């Protein structure tokens, strides 16, 4: 039985948890930043380490009783370094946003400049959105895609802006951009202006770890920030990796603690260690490659239906489709109607969107979670067909009922697995 103690003590919370169990079991998760973790990761995440304070780092803590926390954090760090081929790993960031904030605090002084992707072209809030406090401290300047239908980054513009603005950081990495990058070009522009090359790999960390996508460290990137959930399939959390510069790694450690955070979430760090162990297995490489094949299978169906995809398609786990431009249905309506048939994804702005963020032109979806369920190209193509059928018939309740039933059957045939190794 699930959650027996919550059930006995707190029926209201128990009811919500069980409702979420059912939602995850009987529906398809296409939000590209979500996944299902193994039972081992869940056990570690809810372990006795939630009781422990461990300010500091292994061997240098501010509280006693650290024999086992040190073991766990060292395992997590060592596995992370192996997974991403680098010399230093800080596994303490509570999530992706604090990882990025801690990275900025470590490397910049107030008033310094960061060159990042235009936010409407796929960048992230922490890459300098005006609603964040970061923009009160640092100056963010932008590069863009040359053409939203091919996804090619305008590297000439990037070089020009870099020469003019003299950033301290050239930042790559996105939450809604589905193409591989020319990492060598990023690094050469960063070197030309004396900046550090930093990549936020949050979305594709698992695909890099699984050797399905290129590793920016192989091209000379200095630092990578990431989350540990999403494609990597670990607990919700963050991490900062430094390729080989010990001085930078020390600054990052100081920035995360005591600069930004207090006690690390040692239970989450144990779950990160377990996830990294899974990601080092040969089975994980097969998973990462299948995530990409499955996204390609969905791309093919969207292409044949003449639905515009930003950048023309995908090289990764995610697709950003212009449903307003192609089908006349806004992002919010598309999200709602798909939710009703058991497909969860998110509305998303497209490049230079003329519609509002709460009802943009696009939907963003991806294959990490359905690939964890065991879906292959055939099932993913079927899901894409069901999505398009639902969107094209957004008011036809009979079709919705049939699609919901098809999805229930698929979920039954491909249950969420307990273990991956």
**Binding-site ranges for ligand DSN (CB under 6 A):** 33, 96, 124, 175
Angle between helices 331-340 and 377-392 (to 10 degrees): 120
Distance from the Cα of residue 42 to its chain's centroid = 19
Nearer to ligand DSN, 318 or 323 (CB): 318
Single out the catalytic residue among 55, 149, 152, 165: 55
Q: How far apart are CA 250 and CA 65, in angstroms?
A: 24
Q: Which residue has the tokens 């650290």?
A: 66
Q: Is 284 a catalytic residue?
A: no
Given 34, 200, 278, 353, which residue is catalytic? 200
Is residue 52 flagged as an active site residue?
A: no
Please indicate whether residue 228 is annotated as part of the active site: no
Q: Which of 53, 82, 146, 303 is catalytic?
A: 53
Q: How many angstroms separate the CA atoms of 3 and 79, rounded?
A: 30
User: Smallest gap, in angstroms, from Cβ of residue 61 to ligand DSN?
Assistant: 30
Identity of the residue, 227 or 361, whose beta carbon is nearer to ligand DSN in the bound complex: 227
Q: Which residue from 177, 165, 173, 215 is spatially nearest to 198, judged by alpha carbons?
A: 173
Give bridge partners of residue 143 from the DSSP assignment.
Answer: 117
Q: Which of the residues 226, 227, 314, 371 is marked catalytic?
A: 227
Q: What length does the chain have?
A: 421
> 230 an active-site residue?
yes
213, 316 in Cβ contact below 8 A? Answer: yes
The active-site residue out of 230, 233, 308, 404 is: 230
Cβ 233 to ligand DSN shortest distance, Å: 15
Catalytic status, residue 200: yes
- Provide the minimum distance between the beta carbon of 175 and ligand DSN in the complex, in angstroms, as a whole number: 4
Residue 162 or 288 with smaller CB distance to ligand DSN: 288
- Number of other CB atoms surrounding residue 194 within 10 Å: 10
Comparing CB distances to ligand DSN, the nearer of 226 and 361 is: 226
In whole angstroms, the minimum distance from the beta carbon of 176 to ligand DSN comes to 7
Asked about 236 being catalytic, the answer comes back as yes
CA gap 393, 104 in Å, rounded: 47
C-alpha span between 124 and 118 (Å, rounded): 9
Smallest distance, ligand DSN to C-beta of residue 174, A: 9
Tokens at 17, concatenated: 């948890």
The minimum distance between CB 134 and ligand DSN, in angstroms, equals 14
Half-sphere exposure of 187 (CA within 13 A, CB side): 14
245 touches 114 (CB < 8 A): no
Classify 386 in phi/psi space as left (phi over 0), alpha (psi -120 to 50) or beta.
Answer: alpha
Instruction: Give the CB-nearest residue to ligand DSN.
Output: 33
Nearest CB to ligand DSN, comparing residues 226 and 242:
226
For ligand DSN, the closer of residues 99 and 266 by Cβ is 99
Residues with a known catalytic role: 53, 55, 200, 227, 230, 236
């Amino acid at each position: 039985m699930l959650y027996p103690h919550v059930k006995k003590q707190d029926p209201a919370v128990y009811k919500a948890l069980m409702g979420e169990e059912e939602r995850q079991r009987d529906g398809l998760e296409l939000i590209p930043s979500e996944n299902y973790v193994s039972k081992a990761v869940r056990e570690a995440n809810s372990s006795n380490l939630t009781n422990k304070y461990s300010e500091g780092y292994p061997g240098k803590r501010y509280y006693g009783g650290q024999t086992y926390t040190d073991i766990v954090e060292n395992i997590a760090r060592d596995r992370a370094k192996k997974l991403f081929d680098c010399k230093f790993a800080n596994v303490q960031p509570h999530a992706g946003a604090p990882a990025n904030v801690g990275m900025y605090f470590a490397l910049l002084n107030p008033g310094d400049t960061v060159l990042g992707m235009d936010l409407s072209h796929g960048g992230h809030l922490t890459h300098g959105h005006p609603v964040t406090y970061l923009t009160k401290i640092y100056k963010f300047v932008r590069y863009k895609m040359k053409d939203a239908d091919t996804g090619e980054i305008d590297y000439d513009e990037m070089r020009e802006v870099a020469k003019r603005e003299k950033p301290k950081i050239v930042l790559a990495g996105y939450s809604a951009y589905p193409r591989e990058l020319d990492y060598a070009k990023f690094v050469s522009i960063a070197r030309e202006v004396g900046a550090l090359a930093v990549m936020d790999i949050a979305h594709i960390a698992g695909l890099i770890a699984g050797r399905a996508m290129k590793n920016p460290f192989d091209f000379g990137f200095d630092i990578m920030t990431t989350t540990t959930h999403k494609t990597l399939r670990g607990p919700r959390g963050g991490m900062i990796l430094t390729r080989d510069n010990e001085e930078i790694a020390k600054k990052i450690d100081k920035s995360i603690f005591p600069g930004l955070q207090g006690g690390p979430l040692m239970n989450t760090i144990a779950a990160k260690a377990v996830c990294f162990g899974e990601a080092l297995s040969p089975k994980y490489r097969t998973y990462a490659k299948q995530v990409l094949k499955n996204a390609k299978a969905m791309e093919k169906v969207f292409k044949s239906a003449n639905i515009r995809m930003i950048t023309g398609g995908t090289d990764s786990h995610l697709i950003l489709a212009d449903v307003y431009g192609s089908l006349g249905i806004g992002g919010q309506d598309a999200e709602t109607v798909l939710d009703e048939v058991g497909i969860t994804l998110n509305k998303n702005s497209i490049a230079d969107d003329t519609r509002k963020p709460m009802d943009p032109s696009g939907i963003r979806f991806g294959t990490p979670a359905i690939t964890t369920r065991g879906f292959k190209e055939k099932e993913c193509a079927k899901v894409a067909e069901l999505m398009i059928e639902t969107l094209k018939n957004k008011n036809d309740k009979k079709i919705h009922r049939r699609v919901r039933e098809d999805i229930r059957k698929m979920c039954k045939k491909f249950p969420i697995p307990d273990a991956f190794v």
